Chains A and B, each alone.
Chain A
């Protein structure tokens, strides 16, 4: 009971503080610019298509994660923790001059053909993006437009993305074209070949250093 009272008291202080701020909800669209369907719908379709669905299991975990960063939520869906970038005008590099507004969020995703795309928080693609390593391990995104160079130093943050579907997360791997279970079934010559979720399914919040290889 005392613990409940403490929590209520703490929440009351948080509420009073929160009431002094402007309520804002910003939404990052599913699948960034590349995907028309949500990653979950896409994953579900993949899961339910054909005979491969027999691979999927209904084992329930509660936000457990394996060493490869694959996690399973309380509804049984597997996801992977990933990174996204958030920038601000204050983080704008002084090395370059320009008038462009720094995008609030930059997410690296994949087009349907597997090629990389950088998108802003509205899902719009950023053109002419070149990524370089920052001096202190931060990500530096250099955007070139109309001959002017504007640089933003943007720290990566951990987010969530790439919902996979219901499967055994101990049998997961990342391949250059997306997620695939490690277990080979049928006549596949490559592990998990037919279970692979296509690039258009990927709702990627990828750190620049993340390598899409087996974990």
Chain B
């Protein structure tokens, strides 16, 4: 895990295709890379749909998802970052600090 502040991180996923099914209140995601099944609430599930192999900041991910005109206040940004950290902890997403190049 990086020591960088989450707001300075890039996020991406390199694993195989996830198998996802949506129920009433959960997304159920099977990760063939680990053999684990994850139960996601709406925010991490939504963010996961916008994360691919191309590293992106949390703002880029929100833009991919909801368009460039979407603006988040500080509290919303914190929620997005918390959700991304959940995904990293579940090994569904990887993160590292911004590259300078």
* Chain A interface residues (CB < 8 Å from chain B): 8-9, 11-12, 14-15, 17-19, 21-31, 38-41, 63, 73-75, 77, 79, 105, 157-161, 163, 203, 205
The reply to whether A25 and B38 form a contact with Cβ atoms under 8 Å apart is yes
Determine the chain A residues whose CB is within 8 A of the CB of B21 once the complex forms. 158-160
Number of A-B contacts (CB under 8 A): 114
* Nearest CB on B from A2, distance (A): 14
* Nearest CB on A from B68, distance (A): 9
The reply to whether B41 and A22 form a contact with Cβ atoms under 8 Å apart is yes
- Bound CA span A30–B35, Å: 5
> Main secondary structure on chain B at its contact with chain A?
mixed
The reply to whether B36 and A41 form a contact with Cβ atoms under 8 Å apart is no
A sample of 16 inter-chain contacts (CB < 8 A) reads A9-B67, A12-B65, A15-B62, A15-B66, A15-B70, A18-B41, A23-B86, A25-B86, A27-B37, A28-B38, A29-B36, A30-B36, A38-B35, A40-B35, A63-B19, A79-B19
- Bound CA span A15–B67, Å: 11
In the complex with contacts A30-B34, A161-B37, A19-B70 CB distance below 8 A: no
0/1 interface trace, chain B 88-101, chain A, CB 8 Å (1 if under): 01101000000000
Determine the chain A residues whose CB is within 8 A of the CB of B35 once the complex forms. 30-31, 38-41, 163, 203
The reply to whether B37 and A159 form a contact with Cβ atoms under 8 Å apart is yes
> Main secondary structure on chain A at its contact with chain B?
mixed
- Bound CA span A25–B34, Å: 15
* Nearest CB on B from A34, distance (A): 12
In the complex with contacts A18-B42, A19-B76, A23-B43, A159-B30 CB distance below 8 A: yes
Asked if B87 lies at the interface with its beta carbon under 8 angstroms from chain A, I say yes
Determine the chain B residues whose CB is within 8 A of the CB of A8 once the complex forms. 65-67
